[in-house]
């Protein structure tokens, strides 16, 4: 490439010349080698030229997919540079404990008519007190309880309705083999199949979401592609740190307090 001071994108340079050709060759090299550029927290740039205030992101970790399959909890942080013109970058595999997930939320719930009603009711009926972060945590816990009770009641009804509809459709199909169905029976059969399709679609969405969780947790040599794909998505959506008041913070307690404060301001 002829120049080791190369970046991937124009956003990785400030007050310095960006060379599209060198960036293209660098990106092609990464792609053809099958490497992955790990996202970085901390400083946006890693090289600071004090004389002319030129900033660039010249330091990075490039790893292969096999490395990430073996070590999934990977984060990169650009540390303070102190007296050097380059920031040291730290590759860490330590898992930060942000506490247990509140509960398992299925995307299919958003397709159900009574989800919004249940959520709004739980949100408006909450009564609490305390500091902002504790108030928000208690309110989310109250909503969680309301949604769990809703699903515990609605799920058996959906299963019963699906079973009833399938039995009714089978009876009508059997009747159609021996006689002409009435106009009302044809309408019931049509609407019944539409309801079955909708209920089965929702069940399929839940099963797909559950299977993705299992791939990410257990893996399978027969589903290596899906396992790698899920881990990649998890790395993209993971929180390795947060910029708080201009400082990069990796402490889970401080991050959660900042997030609680942010959401509490939004809901006021």
What stretch of H or E contains 161? Answer: helix 132-176
Residue 78 has pLDDT above 70, yes or no: yes
Q: Answer yes or no: are the C-beta atoms of 199 and 210 closer than 8 Å.
A: no
Give the model's pLDDT for residue 82. Answer: 72
Does pLDDT of 48 surpass 60?
yes
Tens-place pLDDT, residues 172-203: 888 888 888 888 988 998 898 898 888 888 88
* Alpha carbons 45 and 55: distance in angstroms, whole number: 6
Rounded CA-CA distance 194/204 in Å is 15
> What's the whole-model pTM score?
0.42
Residues 65 and 34 sit within 8 Å (Cβ to Cβ): yes
pLDDT in tens, 204-224: 887 777 766 554 554 444 455
């Amino acid at each position: 490439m002829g120049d080791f001071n190369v970046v991937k994108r124009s956003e990785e340079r400030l007050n310095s010349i960006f060379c599209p050709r060198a960036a293209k060759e660098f990106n092609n090299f990464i792609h053809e080698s099958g490497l992955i550029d790990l996202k970085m927290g901390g400083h946006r740039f890693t090289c600071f030229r004090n004389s002319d205030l030129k900033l660039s992101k010249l330091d990075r970790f490039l790893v292969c997919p096999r490395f990430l399959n073996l070590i999934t909890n990977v984060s990169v942080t650009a540390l303070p540079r102190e007296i050097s013109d380059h920031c040291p970058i730290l590759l860490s595999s330590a898992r930060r404990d942000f506490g247990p997930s509140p509960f398992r939320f299925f995307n299919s719930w958003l397709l159900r008519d009574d989800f919004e009603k249940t959520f709004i009711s739980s949100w408006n009926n909450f009564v609490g007190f305390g500091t902002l972060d504790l108030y928000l945590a208690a309110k989310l816990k109250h909503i969680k309880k309301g949604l769990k009770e809703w699903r515990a009641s609605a799920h058996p009804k959906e299963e019963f309705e699906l079973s009833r509809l399938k039995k009714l459709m089978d009876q009508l199909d059997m009747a159609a083999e021996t006689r002409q169905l009435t106009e009302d029976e044809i309408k019931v059969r049509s609407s019944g199949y539409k309801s079955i399709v909708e209920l089965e679609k929702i069940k399929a969405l839940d099963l797909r979401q559950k299977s993705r969780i299992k791939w990410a947790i257990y893996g399978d040599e027969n589903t290596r592609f899906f396992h790698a794909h899920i881990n990649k998505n998890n790395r993209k959506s993971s929180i390795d740190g947060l910029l708080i008041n201009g400082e990069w913070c990796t402490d889970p307690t401080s991050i959660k307090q900042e997030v609680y404060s942010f959401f509490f301001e939004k809901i006021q």
